[in-house]
Every structure is written in structure tokens, then in C-alpha cells.
Structure 1
Amino acid sequence: MPYRSERKRGGAERPEAGPVAEMVRQFADPYAFVREFVQNSIDAGATAIVVRVERSGASVTTSVQDDGAGMDRAVIEGPLLTLFNSSKEGDSSKIGKYGVGFVSVFAVDPEVVEIDTWRDGTCHRVRLFRDHRYELERLAPRDGHGTIVSLHQTMEAARFEEHQARIEGALLRWCRYATVPMELHVSDPDRPEGSGARRIDGALGVPAPIFVETHRGGEHFVVGPSAGSERFCATPPAPEDPAWGKPTFAGFYNRGLTLFETTEPLLPGLEHVRFRVDSPHLRHTLSRDNVLRDRAFHRVVSQVRDLVTGSLRRELGSRLARAARDLAKARPPYDEEVVLSYVALLEAACAPPLVLPKDEVVLPLVAAWEGKHVAPEGKLFKRKEMFVAPLANELGRALAQVGEPVVLVPHPAIVSSLAARGPLPGPLAVEKHWVLLHELPDAEVTKADGELCLGVQKALRGAGIRVDRVALARPSTGIAAPCVLVQGDVRCVGVGVWLCRMGFVERGWAEERARGGLLLDAANEVVVAARERAREDSFVAAHLLARILLLSREDPSGKVSDSLFEASAKVIA
């Protein structure tokens, strides 16, 4: 039996007036009571907290259990049961200051609130009723120390599902960064799939491609940019994180419990920045819906801006360079995480407020250029042209060999991020502007092929066009011309390998004076037909091919054509 009771006889009705009722109305979220209970547990020195939501028929029990210091009778009859008489006054290590938090439990209209608390071998139970009266009794001795606060309610199955979902939502909103381990256990015999345990507490962080984290005088800062976070996050964000998807986010916490979160930039320079600060010096307002805008608040916001302009900017430059090197050294098919992490960092480096100078924006290259696999944007943009390629290949390596860097662009966002900063000298898709021609290896060249090439050389010389040699070659990409002159800008980049601008490939034979070698496109249908004919008659095949090649060259007087006929007649005679 209780040895002290302040409960009225008869049915307990929820009063609409009175100091407790007025305090209950201050809580905009009725489920914020879980924050108050967790706060009390942390203040009591708990090292673990377990929240349980259990249903048995129409009876539902919601409890918060901790292994904190517990309460003796003096604390129960004083700070717990006397409104505004808080044991936390004058203790800066405690989060609560006003002694009103516990009454928030009545916002969800429980029928009975039961508190079991024990310490120093003594255990007490307090029952709080709807009419805000209470019973206090002494229980059998219990070892250790701790407190269990239980709410007893009657509700149907559908209401229970909503109730347990709102309990979980409130815990995640208010306690997701609690400084002690915390679990939520749900038990519903009618819905086994909805039962189970979930860890609530997690590490303080922000969804960002990069963040800096500092600990100063008991304060914990985590700051990162929002740009690029849709591509890649340094730590996987929780789907219920309110910072996710918001360009600007600020969160303030005391020992991991939420005081205030906003999507408004609090200072110039904090737009498109996400940050969280946990500080024992931050306090919530009396209404618990904001953080006190006092000296401590303004100091930590100013420190966040210093982190953005200082260490975050420096870290971004360093990480971007490292990610560019990792991407440049990777081999196709590229790992998606390697690509997206670089893309995300580049987007952050090209967007406010962390717009890095062009000399600090490092781009990956298809192949080493001037001895390095990466190059700063500023150096590349001083060139007249910017060539890009989606993957590392022989063509890109050949261009680097002749002094033309090729930027590795396995994702279109790389170009769009750079373009957002200003006009680009391109980008020019390397395969549309350059071509590699590989002479056919000896194993693929038949005797008839050799006779065909020699016959074409002789036929052209007979027509007054001197070429040093004729060979069969295979281009790296399709070309319209059946042959390519090996002269001028055509560069040898390996044994039998030639690099040429696509523009020269298309016009060189038709416009340039022949003074070098000639490569026949082995994939061209005319050359393919000539090779087939050469197996039967290499002379006829060579002269027919030479005549077709000459069709694309100007011959207004017919002198070249006549010379070819004369040469043919001499051979036939």
C-alpha cells in the first residue's frame, strides 16, 4: 500500500486548467516527452537506455529504462513532484534547467504513469494519474541503481501502430546523437513482423561528400558542403536525417539531444553548408522549440563559418587532388564509388561557398602528361583546346605522348561542373578530333596485299603523284576517306602507329601535295574490294584502286588521269 497519496477519490479526469496542464500545452509535439525522459536519464549518469513499446491485447505500455543514479525519497517528493523545483539548477553539466520536462508525459494522455526508481538498496514507486495526483510507495529492496518510467494506456491495434511509429520518430528526431547507447524495442504479438529492436544513437555527422570534424573544449563540430551529396556521401546518411536533401542545414545539440534544427543560413557564407554542433554551453528555450540565441550560440555559429573558410576549404582541395589521382590511376571499367566520389568533390569545389581557385581544382588525365597523371584546371584552360575522353585508352595515351593532355571524363557532371565556372576551351571529344592508324602486322599482310600496295605506289607515281610508300592500316575509329597521307601533322607514336587529326584525315588526301607515305584504310569497302581482286590480278586491282583514289583529287585539265592511262599502257605493252 502507498504510504503517501495525493490522489482524489473517484474517477481520474484530465484537468483542462492548472499549472501542470499549462506546462503540458507548451509542447508542440506531444511525443517530445521521450526527449525529456532520455534527458533525465543522461543527467542521472546513465550508461545505457532502453525504450520499450509493448502491446498485450488493448493494453499498451511504453517505458524508458536507464541505469542512472536513481532517486531517493527526497528527490521524488522534491524535484520530481514539485513543479519548477529542479535539482539541476546551478549544474551546468545538466541539460534541463526548468523542472517542467517531466510533465510533458501527460501530452499523450496516459491513464497512469509509473516510476520505479532505486538506489542504495532502497526502491520506490510513484504512480501519477490523469488528474495529476500521485501515489508514492516503498517497494522491496533492489540492488544497484536505475529508473524505469512506464506509461500505461488503452488503445486499439491501429492506434498502437501509429503510437509506436511516433515513438520511434520522436527518438530519431530528438535523440539520434545521444551520448549513451540507446535501443528501441517493440513488441506486438499480433504483428511479429513489426516487432524487434533498433539502435537509436549514432555518430554526429552530416550528409556531405566531405566534412571536417573538430572537438574543442567539450564541443563537437561537424561541417560539410551540400553540393555533391546526391552523388556521394562520406558517410551513408540515415534516410530520416532532416538534413538530407536540404541545401542548407544547421543543427544544435547538447550531449546529443536535439535543441534546434533549421534550414535557414544563420550567417553569410553558410549557404549550401550543412553543419551540426554539440555543445554543453547551448541551451534550449523555455518552450523547448528553439535554442537560446545567447553568446554561446553566436560563438559556435561564428566558429562554424571559420571552419568553412579555413579547414574545410583546405581539406576539400587536398581530398579533390587525391580523388583525381585515384581516378587517373584506375582502369576501366571504373569503380562507381571512385568516379562518384571525385564527381561529388568537384561539384563541391565549383559551387558556393567553397569555390576553389582554378589552380587548386585538379583534374584526372587519361595518361601522364608532363610526368603527372593529374593537372590543375588553370593550367589546362590556358590551352586553346581541351580534349576529353570517357576512359583511358591508347588514343589518349598517344595524345599525351605528343604533348596534348586529355582529361578523363567518365561522368558528364565533370564537364557540367567546370562549365558552371565559366567558358571552357572545349570540351572536345578526343575520338571525334583524333584518330590512330595501325599498320597491319606482317601476319595479316598477304603476298597479294604487298603487290597491291606496290602497284598503287607505281600507278600514282606514273600519274605524277610521288608517295614514298603505301601500306594497309586500320583506324581506331571509322573514317570517310579511303586513305591518309603520312605527312605534316601525322605523328608516329609507335612502330607502325600513326596519330592524326580527324580534320586532316578527311581533307588531306584531297587537298595536300603528296610528299610522304600513304596509308590505305583496310576497313574501307573500296580497299576491301581491291584486296579481293588483287588475289586474281594485282595489276588491275592496283590501277583501279589508284583511279578511285584520284577521283577525290582535283584534276581540271585531266593531266593526272592521262598520265595514269599512259603508265597503264606502257605496262600492258
Structure 2
Amino acid sequence: MAASEVDALLERLVAQFESPYDFLRELVQNAMDAGSDRVEVSLETHPAAGEGDEVVFELTVVDTGAGMDEAIIDRELTRLFASGKTDDRTMAGGFGIGFVSVFAWEPEAVLVHTGRSGESWELLFHADRSFEKVALDDPVEGTTVVLFRRGKAREREAIAEAIRSSLWKWCRYCPLEIGFEDFDDDGPMELIQDAPEATGGPGGVVRSEVRGESTLRVSFGVPANAVFLRRGLVLAEGSPAKLLDPEIVSSLGRSTEHLKIWADSPQLRTTLARDKVVDDVGRAEVEARLSTLIGQLRTELLTRATLLAETSIHGGEDGDGADEEAWIDEAWTPERHAIASSLHAHMQVEAEHIGARALRAANCLRDLAHGEGVSVDALAERMAGRPVLVAPPPSLATPGPLADARAELLSKLRPSKFPVVAALVQDDAPWLDALLDLAELERRAVERAISSVQLRPGEAVGLCGVVQTLLEGLGCDGLRVEVASFVDLAARPERSPLFGPEVVGAAAPLAFHGGGVSVPRASLRRRRLWLNLNHALVEAAVRGFAERPLLSGACLTLAVCGQLDRPPEPGEVARLLDVLDASAPMPGGGGTPG
């Protein structure tokens, strides 16, 4: 090949590098191949002869590796594309361009000192790529490469930052000590070293595989990121959607939005210009193994969320002998809730892959009323058409009377079957609503759906008798209707709920009125139903009952039926009124409030 052809080829080769500072990656790789345990990079500025702010920048790279003797220099360093590493795919010098890359920085001269097997050499490369080789008398350990380039003093900060950025981009995970020192800055040498995230973020969900020199690791986290490496040297980095094979990206779907991938393997190779990882059999095998790990990660995600929701501080027991009314779910700490929220946010993204059936069946939600895990399927069964109750964990509530009253309400619910899901609605609504939608469930804050009841025994017995008779005639058998006063968490009268069936088994009288959603008709059977004396319609019915008992009772019954999920036809109520009108005496004796 003619000299002009070699020069043209060399120029094209150098021009392929994305950044003129990528040569630092090549020199670090050469140092690792030579067995070096550290690399020191430095920048120094010298005044240049002449006027103005012209200076000479001296960029030095020193390693402690095996160095080179004359045979290696002649065979590999000074011959374009020559390499003694051809048969070793773990070495980036497989293309023989590691040293050639220094000319991308456009130095006016490059000085190399190296030694091996008792030999020591100095090489001086000029801007035209010609070089001189001189044997040295003094011993040299390792290899030192020094680049000289003229420039303006004001460029120094930008050059130092470019050096720093290149080292951090490509070399931060390398298994050797790398330092950078700017001699014109007063700061100490900066250590270029980082460690990959191994915990998988909150919850510690991560899957790893180690085979020989290959280490693969996947986890969920934001922002999504994928890194391909060889022996700790970054080959490519970016979003999984851009870095992985298009077919794999398509199969992953939304998973690419929150995947963190680490793949360090000698099976990964780069193109001649180091601008991308080669699509070959080695890469395909690595990506296939990554896909398997991602599938395992999804399973682990659901398992971890379930184990967390089932956390107990009593060794699996429900209590420790403390007063039941004062019981608080102490196991559900702010830290656990934060981890659970993070896991659920990732599960929302992975819902399509995990599957609706698995998500519904897993006890992955925390029931604050009973201190245990609960599934969406269990919520649907226990609530039986009612909205799911939610509340912030007591450990996260703002201290004060309201938080104390809510905690007391949770304690009252504990003997009942009603679960209360731990949720900070402002933060958790997206994933919680998506999970509840799998069973077409709605949610309500526990204090909005349930009221404490102040009993009023013996009042409005006649009115209650009419309403009870009508509702029983509509299929609500075993119902006992009474009047009572509903109060909220602050013990203030609640005027909006018209009525509420009792919460069976609760430690104190509680009415489940749903907070504005339809009340299941089936929930009126075999229990007490309280009419709220604080509601204007109930108050009017009580006052008017003495003069128009059937009309008062019918109006109130129709109002109750209007809030049921399956309201009866008006004609059904009319027929029952005819029967009731023909019967005597009036149920309850037509009494008025005592």
C-alpha cells in the first residue's frame, strides 16, 4: 500500500471516533491488557513562545503494565492495523487501533516511554505520523504516553472537562484505579471510579447471572438504562429501547421504560470505530440470557411485594396481648410503605407480562385493619360490591386529633371482616387504581365511607317500622331499621349520608354508607340499618310521621332505594304500600320520637 493510501486510511480511521477524547478509553484498555493496576491521566499547561495567550497543552497517560519491548513496538505499535491480540476477543486491541486513536486529538507530537524484559524505549511521533525510535539507558516501567498540542489558555477548562467526561463515560467501572489530575487546578487528583447499582432500588429486586468472565444483571429503576461492557470498560450505554435488539425491545413492551441492564461479557465486541456493539452470535446469546433474567425479575417483583405486605412484627401472630381498641399496625413503617409503593409502581408497568390473574390473587396490598397482606380477589369478596376502604398508614399520618381518630376507627374495624388498604392517595393512586380496576373495584377513604354511630334507642319506632316493612317486602329479610346520629372523625354531625348498614363485627357501632357511591342491596340483609337523624330528609320524615305515616315512610324508603346498586321499581313500593295501608295496626304503633 502506498504511503498516500496509508495516510488516507489513517485519516478515515481517526475520523470515525465520536469524540477526539475517546483515545483515553483505548489507552486505558491497553493498560488493562498489559496487566496494569492503575492509570494516571494528567493535564498541564506550558507557556508557548510568541505573543498572546498561546500555550502548549501536555496530556499524559501513565500505566504500570508490562510495557513493550522492541519486537512488540515494531510488530504492533508502529504498524497500522497490526496486532498481537487477534486471537483474544477479550482485548479491545483486536483491531490494532488503540494507539492510532491518539491522533484524533490532533497533537503536534506524541512521546512514548515504555520498557519490557530489560529494554527501554522512547518513541516520538510527529503530526505527519512519522516517528523516531531511540533506546534508553535508564529503565522504564510500564508505558507513558504524552500528547502535546498548541492552543489558547482559555481552552484549558474545556479540555480538562472533556478529559474528565470521557474517562467517566467509558472507564468508570474498570477494575483498576484511574485518576485524573489537572495541574493548573488546586484540587487533588480525582478518582474515576463508580460501582453499578446492585440493589435493584427500593425493595432490592434484582436478578444476576455470573458465567466465567460474564456478569449479567437486571433490575427495575428509573431512569431506565442499559450498559454493555467488556472487563468493566463501557462499550455502549443508553436506554434499553435504543441499545437492545429491536425484536427484544418489541417483546419487552413497556418494560423498557424502567429496566436497568448491566451486561459485562467477553462475547460483546465493538465495531472498528468503537461506535456500536457488533450484532453477532455473541451479542445474541448475551441478550437472550438477559431476556430470561428479565422474566425471572418480574416473578421476583410480585413475590417481593407479597412478602412485604405480609410483614408481621409478632412472628405471624395477630397481636401481642395489648388492648384491642388501641391496636395499631406498627409493622407497616414509613420505610416499608415507601418500598411497597415503589414495587407497585413497577408492577403497574409490568402488569401485562405478570398477568391479571396473578396480580389479583397475590396478597400484595397491606390491610391496616388486620396487619396482614390482602389480595384484590379477597377485597372483592369481602367488600361484596362496596368500595374498597383506604387510609394512610398511621406512621405516615400528620400527628393530631384527626390522625388519632382515624387510628381509633381502624381499631374499631379490626374485629370486622372489612380490610383497609394502606395508601397515600396523592402518591399511590396511579398504581392502586390500576390494580383495583382488574376487579372493577372503586376506592374510598375510610373516613368518607364509614361513620361512627350515636345510637338513639326508642326514637322514631313507628317510622322505622314502616321503612323496615317496606324494605323486607323488597327482599331485605332479617333487617332491623333504627334511627341514629352519624358523626365524622372529629365527632361533628354528618349530614350527607341518608342511611348506612351496620358494619357487622365492629368493636363499636359503625355505619357503612359508601361516601356517595351506591350501597349494595345485598348488604341490607340480616343486619341493622341506621337512618341518619342529621339528614334533612330523615328529620322531615320523623316530624311528618304523626300526620302522614305511610307517606313519610314511603318517601324515606324510596330515598333509600334510590341509593342502592339495584333499586326496585317504584311499582313494587306502591304495591307494598297498598298492602301496608290495608293492614292494622301500624307497625311500631305509629309512635313519634320519644
TM normalised by structure 1 equals: 0.70
Q: Residue 429 of structure 1 aligns with which residue?
A: 445
Find out whether 1:377 has 2:376 as its counterpart: yes
- Could you tell me which amino acid in structure 1 is paired with residue 297 of structure 2? L
Alignment of 1:187-198 (within 5 A): 187-189=183-185, 192=186, 195-198=187-190
SS for the counterpart of 2:145 is strand
Mark the CA change 1:287 to 1:330 in structure 2 (over 3 Å): closer, same or farther: farther
Query: Within 2, Cα distance between the matches of 1:333 and 1:363?
Result: 11
1:501 to 508, 512, 525: 512
Give the secondary structure class of the aligned counterpart of 2:66. Answer: coil
Which of 188, 199, 213 does residue 191 from structure 2 map onto?
199
Q: 2:502–2:509: 8 Å Cα contact kept in structure 1?
A: no
Give yes or no for the alignment of 1:117 onto 2:114. yes
- CA shift in 2, pair 1:474/1:15, >3 Å: same
Structure-2 change in CA distance of 1:322 and 1:180 (3 Å): farther
| Letter paired with 2:415 | Q
In the superposition, relative to structure 1, how do residues 34 and 471 fare at CA in structure 2: closer, same or farther (>3 Å)? same
Write the distance in 2 (CA, Å) between the matches of 1:360 and 1:556: 51
Q: Distance in 2 between matches of 1:185 and 1:224?
A: 35
CA drift of 1:301 comes to 0.8
- 1:41 counterpart = 2:23: no
Aligned equivalents of 2:79, 2:497: Cα separation in 1:
98
Give the corresponding residue for 1:391: 393
One-letter identity of the residue aligned with 1:379: A
| Deviation at residue 362 of structure 1 after TM alignment | 0.6
Which residue matches 1:78? 75
Q: How far 1:78 moved relative to its partner?
A: 2.4
Aligned to 2:260: 274
- Residue 52 (1) aligns with residue 25 (2): no
Distance 2:464 2:362 in 1: 56
Question: In the alignment, what sits opposite 2:100?
Answer: 103
Question: For residues 7 and 92 of structure 2, what CA distance do their matches in structure 1 show?
Answer: 28
Check if 1:415 corresponds to 2:429: yes
Check if 1:32 corresponds to 2:22.
yes
- What's 1:148 paired with? 144
Instruction: Tell me the SS of whatever aligns to 1:224.
Output: strand
**Aligned ranges 1:154-553 → 2 under 5 Å:** 154-189=150-185, 192=186, 195-205=187-197, 210-225=205-220, 229-230=221-222, 244=223, 246=224, 249-262=225-238, 263-264=241-242, 265-266=244-245, 267=248, 268-271=250-253, 272=256, 273-309=259-295, 311-325=296-310, 331=330, 335=334, 337-352=335-350, 354-356=353-355, 357-358=358-359, 359-360=361-362, 362-368=364-370, 373-382=372-381, 383-385=384-386, 386-392=388-394, 393-420=407-434, 422=437, 424-436=440-452, 475-477=488-490, 478-481=492-495, 489=502, 493-494=506-507, 497-502=508-513, 553=542
Q: Is the 8 A contact 1:483 1:518 kept in 2?
A: no
- Checking the alignment, whether the CA contact within 8 Å between 2:37 and 2:65 is kept in structure 1 is yes
Q: Which secondary structure state, in structure 2, belongs to the residue aligned with residue 137 of structure 1?
A: strand
- Contact 1:204/1:222, CA 8 A, preserved across alignment: no
Write the letter of the residue equivalent to 1:388: V
- Deviations, residues 378-423 of structure 1 (Å, cap 9, x unaligned): 3323442311112242323322421001110025443322433535
State the 1:18 CA deviation: 3.7
Q: Shift in Å at residue 437 of structure 1?
A: 5.2
In 1, distance between residues paired with 2:129 and 2:15? 14
Say if 2:497 and 2:513, in contact at 8 Å, map to a contact too. Answer: no
Q: Structure 1 residues 218 and 503 mapped into 2: Cα distance closer, same or farther (>3 Å)? A: closer
Provide the C-alpha distance between the structure 2 equivalents of 1:54 and 1:458, rounded to a whole number of angstroms: 96
State the shift of 1:174 in Å. Answer: 1.7
How far is 1:492 from its partner?
6.9
TM-score, normalization by structure 2: 0.68
Secondary structure of the corresponding residue to residue 276 of structure 2: coil
- Gaps in structure 2 of 5+ consecutive residues: 48-54, 314-327, 395-406, 466-481, 517-523, 550-588
Shift of 1:55: 3.3
* DSSP 3-state at the match of 2:292: helix
For residues 379 and 70 of structure 1, the distance between their equivalents in structure 2, rounded to whole angstroms, comes to: 69
Q: How does 1:15-26 map to 2 (within 5 A)?
A: 17-26=7-16
**CA distance in 1 between partners of 2:464 and 2:116 (Å):** 111
Cα distance between partner residues in 1 of 2:227 and 2:160? 25
Letter aligned with residue 211 of structure 1: V
Give the gaps of 5 or more residues in structure 1.
1-13, 231-243, 440-455, 506-511, 525-548, 569-573
Superposed CA offset, 1:44-91 (max 9, x none)? 011122222233553322222221111122222321111111121223
User: 1:160-197, CA deviations, whole angstroms, 9 ceiling, x for partnerless residues?
Assistant: 111111112212222222122322223324xx4xx443
Deviation at 1:350, TM superposition (A): 2.3
Equivalent position SS for 1:106: helix
Residues 78 and 202 of structure 1: CA distance in aligned 2, closer, same or farther (over 3 Å)? same
Alpha carbons 2:231, 2:266 under 8 Å: kept: yes
- Contact 1:327–1:339 under 8 Å retained in 2: no
CA–CA distance in structure 2, aligned partners of residues 298 and 566 of structure 1: 84
- Is the 8 Å Cα contact of residues 271 and 278 (structure 2) preserved in structure 1? yes
Aligned residue for 1:531?
Answer: none
Give the SS at the match of 1:553.
helix
Q: In the aligned structure 1, how far is the partner of 2:215 from the partner of 2:228?
A: 10
- Among the aligned pairs, what percent are the same residue? 26
Read off the aligned partner of 2:269 and give its amino acid letter.
R
Distance in 2, matches of 1:201 and 1:330, equals 43
Q: Is the 8 A contact 1:127 1:135 kept in 2?
A: yes
Per-residue CA distance 1:433-486 (angstroms, 9 max, x = gap): 1123589xxxxxxxxxxxxxxxx9899899999xxx99999752433359999x
What's the Cα RMSD here?
Answer: 4.5
Q: Quickly say closer, same or farther: Cα 1:417–1:519, change in 2 above 3 A.
A: closer
Please state how far the C-alpha of 1:376 moved relative to its aligned partner.
2.2
Q: Which whole-Å CA distance do the structure 2 matches of 1:59 and 1:429 have between them?
A: 70
Identify the residue that residue 91 of structure 1 maps to in structure 2: 88
Quick one: structure 1 residues 516 and 83, their matched pair in 2 at CA, closer, same or farther if it must change by over 3 Å?
A: closer
Deviation at 1:37, TM superposition (A): 0.5
Q: Is residue 139 from structure 1 mapped to residue 125 from structure 2 by the alignment?
A: no
Contact 2:444 2:514 survives alignment (8 Å): no
Contact 1:438 1:475 in 2 (8 A): no
Most deviating of 198-207 and 373-382: 198-207
* Secondary structure at the counterpart of residue 368 of structure 2: strand
Three-state SS of the structure 2 residue aligned to 1:173 is: helix
Shift of 1:96: 2.0
| CA offset digits 1:514-564 (Å, max 9, x no partner) | x9999999xx9xxxxxxxxxxxxxxxxxxxxxxxx966614244599xx99
- Distance in 2 between the 1:16 and 1:163 partners? 29
Q: CA deviation at 1:109?
A: 0.9
Q: Deviations over 1:244-265 (max 9, x none)?
A: 3x5xx54321112222335334
> Residue 544 of structure 1 aligns with which residue?
none
